[in-house]
Amino acid sequence: MRDKTRIAVLVSGGGTNLQALIDAEKNGIIKNGTIVLVISNKQGAYALTRAANAGIPTATFVKKECGGQEGMEKAIRRALSEYKVDLIVLAGFLSILSADFTRDYDRRIVNVHPSLIPSFCGEGFYGLRVHEAALAKGVKVTGATVHFVNEIPDGGEIILQKAVKILPKDTPESLQKRVMRLAEWKILPAAVELVSEQIRYKEN
């Protein structure tokens, strides 16, 4: 059997989902994979501090500094190659990857989205916007989805979903926190373990 599946986590902000993955690996929930690299597209993202605290190497590639999307993706590819990455996890990565990029890593990129896809997803739906839309629509149940990434935003095959009830007094902020705690932080590590195991055994 090959060694553990080598994982890179792509981030843009505070890194709460990254922390859930770090903790899951430490606690043995993720046992077929190991995080070998954290990449940010924002300078000073707190997720980079979380990675450093866990002893995980980091890299930052800002679109403007790389001369645009293509330059940023080339830099990301080089880093993925250098660290021999098998699986890419988008954990609050607020840049849509090109069709060329996603095609080259088919079924090797997973993303967590804070709704039950196909509701409140696609271009423009991220962060608090998702929860604002759910509350505005008056739905009674929301949740989170982990899916494979393809050229369509939030359009890839679903891996895991978990539902969360909406409470009468919910605000976008309170709903966001509860969806993270009850859904995202549970199904993201579980899905990463599932895919890591598939990759690890498929390549023997």
Q: Is the pLDDT of residue 202 over 90?
A: no
Is 147 among the catalytic positions?
no
- Mean pLDDT to the nearest integer, 88-113: 94
Distance from C-alpha of 40 to C-alpha of 9, rounded to nearest angstrom:
9
User: Strands, DSSP E only, in the chain?
Assistant: 5-11, 33-40, 58-60, 87-90, 109-113, 141-148, 158-165
3 state SS for 136-152: HHCCCEEEEEEEECCCC
Mark 47-78 as b/e (b = at least 16 C-beta within 10 Å): bbebbeebebebbbbebeebeeeeebbebbee
pLDDT tens for 103-156 read 999 999 999 999 999 999 988 898 899 999 999 999 999 999 999 999 998 999
pTM attached to this predicted model: 0.94
Q: Tokens 């002893």, residue?
A: 55
Q: pLDDT above 90 covers what percent of the chain? A: 89
**Options 113, 131, 147, 200, the catalytic residue:** 113
Domains present along the chain, CATH in parentheses:
5-202 (3.40.50.170)
Give pLDDT, residue 124: 86
